[in-house]
A = this chain, B = another copy of it.
């Protein structure tokens, strides 16, 4: 079984790709490059919204939590929403935006990998499909709906894609 991806012509080793083309993954690290930012996002998915929830549940220190929340908010992954419980003063909640929510496949893929390779028998968190109770995983599929095994995955470059009309 082939483990590496098929590479199309224009993206060979000598195309200088590492420097010329920006990698979406590398760019993503400018936003989500630290462990703590992932932990914060994880808790956001688990339902944390209040500052202290993030701090307690991730175990990271307040200053760092504050910094991450500020950055993630600035990047548009979280949104600061003021709310007020009856009789209480106004508080702040951090809620996932669409951009933030869209990270779910990344986190799920990470969890599944950790589950599979790092916890062969111990305690684990389960992700299940509420409707049928089966385990949830991530799967590679093409936009035509086919499952895509590794050896049918091809890497190519699309330097000047036309912008969709709007």
Interface set of A (CB-CB < 8 Å, partner B): 3-7, 11, 13, 17-19, 21-29, 31, 33, 35, 38-39, 42, 44-48, 53, 56-59, 95-119, 121-132, 134-144, 146, 148, 150, 152-161, 163
Contact = CB atoms under 8 A, between A and B. Distances in A.
Contact of A125 (B108, B117, B124, B156): B156
Contact of A38 (B25, B96, B144): B25
A106 B103 contact: no
Contacts of A100: 3
A150 B104 contact: yes
Number of copies of chain A assembled together: 2
B22 A122 contact: yes
A48 B151 CA distance: 16
A121 to B, nearest CB: 5
A68 to B, nearest CB: 14
Nearest to A160: B123
Contacts of A115: 24
Given A21-B125, A23-B125, A136-B140, 9 more contacts: A3-B98, A4-B44, A11-B125, A29-B35, A103-B113, A123-B158, A124-B158, A126-B156, A136-B148
A124 B42 CA distance: 27
Given A138-B138, A140-B136, A141-B136, A114 B146 contact: no
A110 to B, nearest CB: 5
Contacts of A23: 42, 111, 114, 125
